[in-house]
């Protein structure tokens, strides 16, 4: 795998989407783009809500992506426009400190996260002037990582416009870090697969250090994505960050119980590493240490011997300050169990047993139950959709992405794909006019796509 994002010479005339984007750019700015960048969305096959706990995940890039046309100039301004008229234009001075309003997560603030990440990485006092038009084919707030793809696309084009060079790994790490400016405490999976993906293969993404390993998916089955049509913006709600905080508290409680310094650990994987324990041993420890009832602030502070003020400043995040109860047993049990399922999934893919498809389907089903019951990141629409997918012929189906809305991913035997699509369409989309109107972009077979790239007109 090449270490830097590829620069690809392409004929704009033969790519309708690039052709439309070029025309929109010329109509908007009265000049032609200098180059184009794209960054794909992703579907996580298994390993939900564990990247920020330090555990490996198993996503693949999808063909839907964020595409941007860019020109570089001496205007002293960064001008942003979007093909979709519901997303308003925005401009900011290159000499200003880039401000990102995490209380109002507009599309252009995600873009500016990527810009700011590159600026800070290289200490660029005054960025090059840029004019950009963005086009996205990833359904927004669907759990397919449209927001992270936008951050990655912006980071890549800012690097190129300012004549800098970075590896895919470095770009992924920068974009994972800078997306936190919008208030989301993500773990890095979305940005990693957006840069490190390769066509035709899923990836096991491992962290600390960041690396990606090919995972050959079994023949005889495909992955189908279906959107429940309930949107959930991670940055606009506290659901996601509450889970991050609950895992952080569980980490410190487990460390304290086993005589480790709680202030030295913040991720559940770190406790396992420090104790040199297996995932099975960690699951047993969860049963031993935690009670199933939610913990109060007072109980946590007493057990960790810390003040309420220290708990607020060092453990909670900005948008979780109001929380009073924390489900430590359920969240840690999900994380350690899901981490074990990821490794089992990869093992089945590597060893290619005769019943691989059934085994992988079982792991996906177990994952959804854990997300629904222990992590509580599903919703009635997603549960209904997963149930329909299983009844329609999927061997495994689960929510994918942050949850609380968005998409399910289903593993479907190749010979059943057409009947599966029809059955899901008839049972979930057709009866509801709003879903029926969204169905074309909400139900599709996905193949592993390539990672972020630069395009130059041939």
What residues are annotated to the active site?
Answer: 190
d(Cα 444, Cα 222) in Å, to the nearest integer?
10
CA distances from 361 to 196, 221, 352 (A): 25, 10, 14
Task: Measure Cα distances from 251 to 174, 185, 186, 311 in Å.
Answer: 25, 16, 17, 14
State the greatest distance between any 2 C-alpha atoms of the chain, in Å, as a whole number: 67
Our separate counts of H helices and E strands in the chain read 15, 15
CA distance 406 to 144: 8
Q: What is the CA radius of gyration of the chain?
A: 22
Distances (CA, A) of 440 to 44, 89, 338, 443: 21, 27, 31, 6
- 425, 432, 359: which is closest to 392 by C-alpha? 425
Q: How many CA atoms lie within 13 A of 222 on its CB side?
A: 14
Confirm if 207 and 54 have CB atoms less than 8 A apart. Answer: yes
Burial of 95 (0-12, 13-18, 19+ CB in 10 A): exposed
* Angle in degrees, 0-180, between the axes of helices 268-275 and 279-289, rounded to the nearest 10: 110
Between the alpha carbon of residue 160 and those of residues 40, 53, 118, 409, 453, the distances in Å are 18, 32, 10, 34, 11
CA distances for 397 relative to 214, 231, 242, angstroms: 22, 19, 25
Q: Coil, strand, or helix at residue 236?
A: helix
Nearest CA-CA partner of 118 in 146, 153, 88: 153
Q: Measuring CA to CA, which residue among 88, 95, 86 is closest to residue 111?
A: 88
CB proximity list for 30: less than 8 A, separation 6 or greater: none
């Amino acid at each position: 795998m090449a270490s830097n994002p590829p620069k690809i010479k392409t004929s704009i005339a033969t790519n309708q989407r690039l052709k439309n984007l070029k025309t929109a750019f010329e109509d908007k700015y009265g000049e032609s783009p200098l180059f184009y960048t794209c960054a794909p969305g992703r579907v996580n096959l298994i390993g939900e809500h564990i990247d920020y706990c330090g555990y490996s995940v198993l996503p693949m890039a999808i063909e839907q992506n964020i595409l941007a046309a860019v020109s570089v100039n001496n205007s002293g301004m960064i001008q942003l426009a979007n093909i979709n008229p519901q997303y308003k234009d925005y401009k900011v001075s290159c000499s200003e400190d880039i401000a990102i309003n995490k209380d109002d997560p507009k599309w252009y603030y995600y873009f500016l996260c990527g810009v700011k990440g590159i600026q800070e990485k290289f200490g660029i006092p005054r960025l090059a002037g840029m004019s950009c038009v963005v086009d996205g084919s990833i359904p927004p707030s669907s759990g397919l990582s449209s927001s992270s793809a936008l951050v990655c696309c912006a980071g890549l084009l800012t690097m190129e416009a300012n004549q800098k060079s970075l590896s895919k790994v470095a770009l992924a790490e920068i974009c994972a870090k800078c997306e936190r400016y919008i208030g989301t405490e993500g773990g890095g999976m979305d940005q990693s697969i957006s840069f490190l993906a390769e066509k035709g293969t899923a990836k096991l993404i491992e962290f600390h250090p960041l690396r990606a390993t090919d995972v050959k998916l079994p023949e005889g089955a495909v992955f189908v994505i279906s959107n429940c049509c309930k949107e959930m913006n991670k940055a606009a709600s506290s659901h996601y960050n509450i889970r991050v905080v609950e895992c952080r508290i569980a980490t410190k409680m487990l460390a304290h119980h086993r005589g480790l310094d709680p202030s030295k650990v913040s991720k559940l994987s770190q406790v396992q590493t420090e104790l040199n324990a297996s995932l099975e041993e960690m699951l047993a420890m969860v049963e031993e240490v935690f009670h199933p009832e939610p913990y109060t602030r007072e109980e946590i502070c007493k057990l960790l011997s810390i003040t309420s003020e220290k708990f607020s400043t060092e453990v909670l995040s900005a948008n979780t300050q109001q929380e009073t109860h924390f489900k430590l047993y359920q969240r840690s049990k999900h994380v350690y169990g899901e981490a074990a399922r990821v490794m089992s999934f990869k093992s089945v893919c590597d060893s290619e047993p005769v019943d691989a498809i059934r085994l992988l389907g079982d792991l996906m089903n177990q994952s959804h139950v854990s997300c629904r019951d222990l992590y509580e990141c599903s919703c009635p629409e997603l549960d209904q959709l997963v149930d329909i997918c299983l009844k329609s012929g999927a061997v495994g189906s689960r929510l994918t992405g942050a949850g609380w809305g968005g998409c399910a991913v289903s593993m479907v035997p190749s010979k059943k794909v057409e009947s599966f699509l029809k059955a899901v369409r008839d049972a979930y989309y057709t009866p509801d006019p709003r879903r029926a109107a969204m169905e074309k972009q909400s139900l599709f077979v996905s193949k592993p796509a390539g990672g972020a790239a630069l395009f130059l007109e041939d």
